[in-house]
Structure 1
């Protein structure tokens, strides 16, 4: 049950979640207040604390279920980043179909503010929603790297590192009370040794993707999906041409943004 102002408003997000799930995505609900409590003021989102939001992740099956069919339609021609375009198109379609009576603000992981800050901190959103645990240097006692800057990384309890955080949806005017309780993300990398190994793999050799297998996983990216994301962004046009999705002329204007899945 969700409320808007003093008026009780029923909002059923389950059809939206199920629709995304069938396409290789997962959506987890959260309150904006959970997010704002743990980020700096500069990154806080300007909605009331009880506003309902959903963080959306892509799972390994998204590539075969959605992205390859997207490429087959020819929509990737002239698109700077086909993955971004495909994800955007898919999520907006599901919103239109399942949440058509709601006003929804959608923020994608690749979008930036004029200040060049991201519109939202994706890993923090996934963590507070209970979707994936965000491991950082502060989670390690006496880190061997000392004061060296080490970036944190989210690990999914079923998928390890084989997923991506794609979007945050805010249901404007929809507030949730005690019906939505915060649940901590599973601590699937619990030992200090494994946390050290995870952060070292992610920061020092992320290109070999071994950090993604820090825990046993139910799914991994297919060989074709790995080839796509391993390929440098400025060479993906050639890859799509080899796969038969682009012509020589279309390849010249294809893909220049950096994504590694």
Structure 2
């Protein structure tokens, strides 16, 4: 049975305080806001007033959380280090601070048996007011005839230097009308800049210039950039070079290299 909305501020405040120092931001929204803008096939199967929170990682997550995680982990069963680091941090936060709550945690990389994502991460970030999701439909008279252009979220302070990591759903917390939806900041407002953003993202995403479509307060450190630029199959060797992967643990490296 869902509890009244007087728990919302406590839930969001506790989660935000717990995850902020690790390099995460959290933004609450109602499930109904999300379901209102996605197709029936992508609906989240909760009541419209159920509290949800989208979790973003900021550039500081790499140094504040990921590198310490690498130093402290046993490597047993590790496949994708970033994914498992994020999952460990979020699940630990929920279990420690909300032991009596019923919380579903859905990560950005999880898919349904149909191979569809379990949630549309960029849409969730948009409806929560975290980052604006710029799409082809935001362009008047788009210059790309009969071509699908993928959309991308831009954060008002971080530009493209962030990632959407997880969706948390408090199944036993409902939100009333006092929670108002706030539109994400339109930080790429001109048609010219929006066209440039989508072209950078679709045609040149590997050079990351789309991330700098607006001035950012923070960006990825050189180590972080090197890690994410490195193809997944070569990240095991990179971690060994950095001294994080045990020299003798060939089984661990082989597992990482398969990602």
Query: For 2:255 and 2:132, how far apart are their aligned partners in 1?
Result: 38
Query: For 2:95 and 2:197, how far apart are their aligned partners in 1?
Result: 39
Q: Aligned residue for 2:2?
A: 4
Matched residue pairs, number? 254
Give unmatched runs, 5+ long, in structure 2. Answer: none
Q: Aligned residue for 1:135?
A: 134
When the two chains are superposed, the root-mean-square deviation of aligned CA atoms in Å is 1.4
Where does 1:234-249 land on structure 2 (aligned, <5 Å)? 234-246=233-245, 247-248=247-248, 249=250
TM-score by length of 2: 0.94
Q: Aligned residue for 1:206?
A: 205
Query: CA-to-partner distance for each residue in 1:161-197, whole Å, 9 max, x for gaps?
Result: 0000000000002110112110000000000000000
Higher fraction of helix: 2
Whether contact under 8 Å (1:78, 1:254) holds in the other structure is no
Shift of 1:203: 0.3
Query: CA-to-partner distance for each residue in 1:36-94, whole Å, 9 max, x for gaps?
Result: 00000000000000000000000000000000001001344541100000000000111
Whether contact under 8 Å (1:57, 1:164) holds in the other structure is yes
Shift of 1:9: 5.4
Q: Aligned residue for 1:27?
A: 26
Whether contact under 8 Å (2:5, 2:176) holds in the other structure is no
Q: Aligned residue for 1:223?
A: 222
Query: For 1:8 and 1:254, how far apart are their aligned partners in 2?
Result: 43
Query: For 1:237 and 1:203, how far apart are their aligned partners in 2?
Result: 28
Secondary structure (helix, strand or coil) at the match of 2:256 reads coil
Whether contact under 8 Å (1:228, 1:236) holds in the other structure is yes
Q: Aligned residue for 2:254?
A: 252
Q: Aligned residue for 1:164?
A: 163
Query: For 1:225 and 1:76, how far apart are their aligned partners in 2?
Result: 20
Whether contact under 8 Å (1:79, 1:255) holds in the other structure is no
Query: For 2:29 and 2:40, how far apart are their aligned partners in 1?
Result: 19
Query: For 1:78 and 1:175, how far apart are their aligned partners in 2?
Result: 37
Query: For 2:162 and 2:92, how far apart are their aligned partners in 1?
Result: 21
CA pair 61-105 structure 1, distance change in 2 beyond 3 A = same
TM-score by length of 1: 0.94
